[in-house]
Amino acid sequence: MADDAGRHDAYTHGYGAPVQRSHSWRTAANSAGYLLDHLRPGMDLLDVGCGVGTITWDLARLVAPGRVIGIDVDEGILAAARGAAPDDVVGVELRVGDVYGLDLADDSVDVVHAHQVLQHLTDPVAALREMRRVCRPGGVVAVRDVDYETMTWSPASDGMTHWLAAYRAVHRANGGEPDAGRHLLAWAQEAGFDDVEPGASTWTFATPADRRWWADTWAERVAGTRLGEQALELGLADRSELDGMATAWRRWADEPSGWFSMIHAELICRV
């Protein structure tokens, strides 16, 4: 997607079924815990890059009866989110939107939330400035992004090492920053925030059920989504190598002592 400033952003994961299943696991508890103490009933909230909406629904429950707007660049994923909306969530509007040009007035929401969004942008500082514009004085802009280089696993796996190198290369070829987590604070400072609360949390997959679920999501993404297609197009892997990465993920899941973890950087930026 290109905007008026000539930025070309691409979502490295694509919107295929394996990605949607993976992202549907996300909740406010496991993906936005750092924000929850800052929420109050009646707040107006903007969820940038809301995707399948599972985090959005949780946040909406916490700020009800406040207004909640979720935006994403893809109407298809928004339609899927609308179709899966829980009956107990009301007052949520999902619409196509551009983080570089939010269709909101200055100072119009109390909270802006973006989970795993900035890593995919060619100009994350411009996006943060726009989030700051629409946030009311006294409100917060909350962002969380993973740092792919911090991903670690045991036992060692050449196939998974190849997977991570290929993923990071595809991500950078799309103009994004796979190791965004370590850059969040600098980006926020450049965007004009001078009251920032930094932190971090992890996702860990080490129980048999968690290993199997996590491995299957990545095996399917490598072999059958836009991610794998891009790796082929860029010459980062051939089809047999992609199949080998998928197999490596599934073999890792079978390890009784298998461990996988990653660090996510988190910021509460006060306006």
Contacts 24+ apart (CB under 8 A), 239-245: 241/162, 244/159, 244/162, 245/159, 245/160, 245/162, 245/163, 245/166, 245/219
pLDDT for 3 beyond 60: no
Q: What is the pLDDT of residues 174-223, one digit of tens each?
A: 999 999 999 999 999 999 999 999 999 999 999 999 999 999 999 999 98
pLDDT in tens, 86-138: 999 988 999 999 999 999 999 999 999 999 999 999 999 999 999 999 999 99
Look up the pTM and report it.
Answer: 0.95
3-state secondary structure of 186: helix
Helix (H, G, I), strand (E, B) or coil at 175: coil
Q: What's the gap between Cα 145 and its chain centre?
A: 6
239-254 vs 158-173: helix crossing angle, rounded to 10: 130
Residue 54 in contact with residue 119, Cβ under 8 Å? no
Calculate the CA 176 to chain-centre distance: 12
Q: What is the pLDDT of residues 14-49, one digit of tens each?
A: 888 888 889 999 999 999 999 999 999 999 999 999
Task: State whether the Cα torsion 40-41-43-45 is positive or negative.
Answer: positive
What does the DSSP 8-state code read for residue 150?
A: G
Closest-CA residue to 162 (of 96, 218, 233): 218
Domain map (residue ranges) of the chain: 17-270
Range 45-71 burial, b when 16+ CB lie within 10 A, else e: bbbbbbbbbbbbbbbbbbbbebbbbbb
Distance CA 99, CA 84 (A): 24
Distance CA(119)–CA(177), nearest Å, equals 5
Q: Could you tell me the fold of the domain covering 17-270? A: Rossmann fold (3.40.50)
- What's the token pair of residue 78? 């928004």
